């Protein structure tokens, strides 16, 4: 007789919006393929990303309930769902920044087996500043799963947790056959991700693009995504008189045709975790120019081997790099040839093995 599958709940803020949420959906495919019975539970309604397993959308369930009552009902529904489905293992993929909410959540989770994901070097969204409170809230953790070695080192240094591990985000489900992109400029560089100025620093990106003047060489900057700061980004493009050279397009559920055709992709973030966009770009053979922010880029980009790693908050240096990967054809081809093989360790198979090792301990 077949043994019943181990049930795992992945609890996320949503299944839409940003990289952490997108990873929650991807993780559900990984765990399903490993043979787990996966339950996706999202606290808020956006549901744009694919997922595997069952789904409880608490945001949709209580969409029309007054806000003061909504949070309480969500917690009660979450507690009932975990109990009714006999779920004893939870992977917590939420931001955890509000202490009272975390106190309530701690009661809901109870003594279940807990794995806490830390998706960003900016720890304030995942752990309280107080070491005492961090240990009180999360002292029962099986593991803190960090998406970069720099994050793991910071968690160990600040909180003295020993049960930490790094598991990189995989290069997503990159299809073998990627169709040609249509309806976009012939020559372009690309940013794809969330339109969030505080994290992604579009001010630096647009200043560097303007200083580089690569638009005079026939290159367009395409910004592909969505987010709260789209209007201000469009305004900044206008202020810099770049309307003819910057094209903003909607988030694509399958972005790989546009990523593959790009000359290179760019990242100018103030802080990150382990950006999915870098791995995905390299996986399809497109080099990356990224600032050396904390954390992630320096753990996958080797300067002048698969892209360029640039000092952060330096628009002149970034502009120079933009020109270098256009003008130096030999360097560009070298980076392009190395791109996909440089992220072999981020393949879905390799990352799945790491998750299996951790969950089976």
Query: Domains of the chain by range and CATH?
Result: 7-170+347-359 (3.40.50.2000), 188-345 (3.40.50.2000)
Let me know: does 222 contact 286? Beta carbons within 8 Å: no
Q: How many residues does the chain have?
A: 361
Per-residue pLDDT of the chain (361 residues), as tens digits, is 456 789 999 999 999 877 889 899 999 999 999 999 999 999 998 888 899 999 999 999 999 999 889 999 999 999 999 999 999 999 999 999 999 999 999 999 999 999 999 999 999 999 999 999 999 999 999 999 999 999 999 999 999 999 999 999 888 666 677 777 778 899 999 999 999 999 999 999 999 999 999 999 999 999 999 899 999 999 999 999 999 999 999 988 788 999 999 999 999 999 999 998 999 999 999 999 999 999 999 999 999 999 999 999 999 999 999 999 999 999 999 999 999 999 999 988 999 999 999 999 8
* Structural tokens at position 151: 């994050």
- CA nearest 144: which of 129, 123, 170? 123
Q: Is the pTM of this model over 0.85?
A: yes
CA dihedral 84, 87, 93, 96 (to 10 degrees): 70
Residue 28 and residue 46: Cα distance in Å, rounded? Answer: 17
Let me know: does 58 contact 42? Beta carbons within 8 Å: yes
């Amino acid at each position: 007789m077949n043994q019943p599958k181990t049930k795992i709940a992945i609890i996320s803020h949503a299944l839409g919006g940003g990289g952490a949420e997108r990873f929650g959906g991807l993780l559900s495919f990984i765990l399903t393929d490993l043979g787990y019975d996966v339950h996706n539970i999202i606290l808020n309604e956006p549901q744009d990303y694919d997922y595997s397993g069952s789904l409880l959308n608490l945001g949709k369930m209580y969409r029309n309930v007054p806000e003061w009552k909504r949070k309480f009902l969500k917690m009660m529904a979450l507690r009932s769902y975990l109990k009714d489905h006999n779920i004893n293992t939870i992977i917590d993929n939420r931001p955890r920044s509000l202490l009272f909410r975390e106190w309530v959540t701690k009661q809901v989770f109870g003594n279940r087996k807990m794995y806490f994901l830390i998706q960003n070097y900016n720890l304030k969204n995942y752990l309280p500043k107080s070491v005492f409170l961090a240990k009180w809230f999360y002292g029962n953790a099986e593991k803190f799963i960090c998406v970069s070695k720099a994050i793991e080192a910071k968690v160990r240094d600040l909180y003295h947790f020993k049960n930490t591990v790094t598991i990189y985000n995989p290069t997503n489900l990159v299809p073998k056959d990627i169709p040609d992109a249509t309806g976009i400029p012939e020559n372009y560089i690309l940013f794809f991700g969330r339109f969030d100025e505080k994290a992604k620093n579009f001010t630096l990106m647009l200043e560097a693009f303007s200083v580089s003047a690569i638009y005079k060489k026939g290159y367009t900057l395409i910004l592909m995504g969505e987010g709260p700061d789209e209007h201000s980004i469009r305004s900044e493009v206008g202020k810099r008189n770049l309307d003819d050279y910057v094209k903003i397009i909607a988030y694509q559920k399958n972005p790989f045709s546009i990523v593959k055709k790009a000359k290179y992709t760019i990242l100018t973030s103030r802080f990150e975790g382990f950006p999915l966009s870098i791995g995905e770009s390299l996986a399809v053979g497109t080099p990356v120019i990224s600032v050396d922010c904390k954390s992630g880029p320096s753990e996958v980009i080797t300067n002048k081997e698969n892209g360029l790693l640039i000092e952060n908050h330096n628009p002149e240096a970034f502009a120079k790099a933009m020109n270098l990967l256009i003008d130096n054809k030999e360097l560009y081809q070298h980076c392009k040839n190395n791109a996909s093989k440089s992220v072999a360790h981020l393949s879905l198979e390799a990352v799945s093995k790491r998750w299996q090792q951790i969950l089976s301990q």
